[in-house]
Amino acid sequence: MSRRRSLAALPAALLLMAGVAHAQTANNDPPPLGAILDLNGQPIPNNAPQLYTVDFTAAVANTAITFAFRDDPALILFSDASVINLTAGGGNLLANGNFSGGTYTDNGNRLTPVGWTYANIYGAIDGGVVFAGCGVGVGYCWDDGAVQAYDAISQTIATTIGDTYQISFDVQETSGQATFSSLSTNGVGGTGGNGIDVLAYAQQGLPAADVPEPASLSLLAAGAIGAFLARRRRAA
């Protein structure tokens, strides 16, 4: 596949997140913190879907299962996501893990898979959509092409503290790049970059986005104060 969705680029903005200003730059931004699986450095499967698994022990009664994506040059086909309780047994704890259950409108005009929450709090340009004719099983996937930063899909499941769970999913990628890379390393911006990665999280709430260093926060605050004072002088 050679297509890329023509979504409008997000403007530079400041988000207020947990009381901390977050610069939404989409400029080779690192992934969110706290991943229990990061495909960075592994070979990229681009001929057929590749199965990945990771285990975790539940530390809270309600665990947010989150998958974050980046693909500067092309598209990631993410399918057949599941979470299984290895301690107690049972079926898939994720709703609509195969993405065949339809979509709903979220975040304004985003068509998000039923059962999931879409998050672009990390500054990505472009993003993901549900796509038919890809993946394994029923043939639906989450088709993601976030550029220069990460977007994510997430859902919270009930977990038993102390039990061991296994996350699994399939990934196929549409470019000819050889290995996953959490950051772009070729010095080219936008879709010319070579950042491609998939990460999995199991924690209480969505993973935290990167935030400016204290010095950067001081500069942002100073700029905001300066702009406010300038407006007051013009109004006087």
Average confidence score pLDDT of the chain: 81
pLDDT of residue 133: 87
Q: Kindly report the length of the chain.
A: 236
pLDDT of residue 108: 67
Q: How far apart are CA 236 and CA 228, in angstroms?
A: 12
Residues of the chain with pLDDT under 70: 1-25, 107-108, 135, 210-236
SS3 per residue for the chain: CCCCCCCCCCCCEEEEECCEEEEECCCCCCCCCCCCEECCCCECCCCCCEEEEEEEECCCCEEEEEEEEEECCCCEEEEEEEEEECCCCCCCCCCCCCCCCCEEEECCCEEEECCCEEECCCCCECCEEEEECCCCCCCEEEEECCECCCEEEEEEEECCCCCEEEEEEEEEECCCCCECECCCCCCCCHHHCCCEEEEEEEECCCCCCCCCCHHHHHHHHHHHHHHHHHHHHHHC
pLDDT of residue 236: 46
pLDDT of residue 93: 98
pLDDT of residue 228: 35
pTM: 0.80
> Mind listing the pLDDT tens digit for each residue in 25-75?
578 999 999 999 999 999 999 889 999 999 999 999 999 999 999 999 999
